[in-house]
Structure 1
Amino acid sequence: MSHIKIANTEHDVLDLIKNRWSPRSFSDKVIPENDLHTILEAAGWAASANNEQPWQYYYASKGNDGFVQITESLFGGNKPWAQHADVLIVAVARKTFEANQTENGAAMHDLGMANAHLLLQASALNIYSHMMGGFDRVKISETLNLTENQLPVAIIALGYLDEAEKLEEPFKTRELTPRVRKPLSEFVFSKN
């Protein structure tokens, strides 16, 4: 089934990028702790403005209270399938620079870079990920005791791939639909 999710690219993109996609069907297989730490460390090696590294990750594994609390913050379109992931990670951006407490305008960008590293490292380990923006930010902030300087940006589901047939609609159809992206002509503009 995952072969239909391999990106059909116009140019010779890395296989690691072509093969990364966001499933909703996760198996019961547990991610080894060392692999999880490898995935999280990969995030830490992303580029960041002034080497600020404004990303923070809070995670919980299935079967723990923290996992249930993170799941409870998810909106209805994510909760039915995300509760079957092995790990849920909350990606948080620290909004100010540590040195002088001024606004870090690159914090969200830098967290995005770290998230991309995380997703690709997971893919390299044959662990699948699904980013979610559909969650209650106030609720998760309270659950994690975040400060005003911490912005929860995304929740990431991690796990091993399972069969699409175990999903209910509309998730099953989404799982079985080939990936598509806009062509370069729609988002790249030369000013030469």
Structure 2
Amino acid sequence: MSRLAITIAPISEIHATRWSPRSFDATAELTREAVTASLEAARWAPSANNVQPWRFVVGFRGDETFETIAANLMSFNTAWAPQASALVVNIAHTSDAEGKENTYALYDLGQAVAHFSLQATHDGLFTHQMGGINRDELAVAFNVPAGFSVVSVTAVGSLGAPDALPQVLAEREVAPRTRIELDEIVSYGPIETVAAAA
């Protein structure tokens, strides 16, 4: 099953092959060493004023951290994400000790998570980002301090078979990959077209 992105201009192999499966191999195990490169790529992502406003909590299937993260997934994420080899909580440092807001924190965390995902793809792993999580409970469980916000969770692991998923998710797993056309999201002048499509 090819999941290669169909593009109108050549892009790197890592970008073209990265996609977000929901079916993970529940027998595949990861070690800390196996995700170190992905975390290191996240560490070296760009950030405003080099503040690096990102933190990560990593759990591996079978350990207490993983179980805590899995217990705080919501909706249909509970049907597939616990099969991943690791779950990573992505946290943004949104304000300093004086309460001054870092307006770029979420943007920068997103960059770090993207770098994590691309490095994981390079290393033969698959990732899937989730926003359907209980952020407040995760913040309490992991003693996230004031000024930091739980934003998302990344599932990491090896690819599983689509038919291991519930039918509605299995159908999504093999459906053609699509994206909004480039001319619908890019403007080289006034943005009326972009605004109208929003």
Shared fold, TM over 0.5: yes
Task: With the length of structure 1 as denominator, give the TM-score of the two structures.
Answer: 0.94
C-alpha deviation, 1:97, in angstroms: 4.6
d(CA) in 2 for partners of 1:170, 1:41: 35
Instruction: Please give the root-mean-square deviation of Cα atoms over the aligned residues, in Å.
Output: 1.4
Task: State the match for 2:86 in structure 1.
Answer: 87
Listed as ranges, the gaps of 5+ residues in structure 2 are 191-198
Listed as ranges, the gaps of 5+ residues in structure 1 are none
d(CA) in 2 for partners of 1:67, 1:17: 28
1:179 matches 2:162: no
Task: State the match for 2:37 in structure 1.
Answer: 38
Task: State the match for 1:161 in structure 2.
Answer: 159
C-alpha deviation, 1:174, in angstroms: 0.8
1:134 matches 2:132: yes
- Matched residue pairs, number? 189
Further displaced range: 142-151 or 111-120: 142-151
Contact 1:131 1:155 in 2 (8 A): yes
Q: Which runs of 4+ in 1 moved over 3 A?
A: none
SS at match of 1:179: coil
Task: State the match for 2:100 in structure 1.
Answer: 102
Which amino acid counterpart does residue 114 of structure 1 have in structure 2? A
- Of structures 1 and 2, the one scoring higher in RCO (CA 8 A, sep 6+) is 1
Task: With the length of structure 2 as denominator, give the TM-score of the two structures.
Answer: 0.91
Contact 2:18 2:118 in 1 (8 A): yes
d(CA) in 2 for partners of 1:47, 1:169: 40
Give runs of aligned pairs for residues 111-122 of structure 1, distance below 5 A. 111-122=109-120
Task: State the match for 2:122 in structure 1.
Answer: 124
Task: State the match for 2:8 in structure 1.
Answer: 10
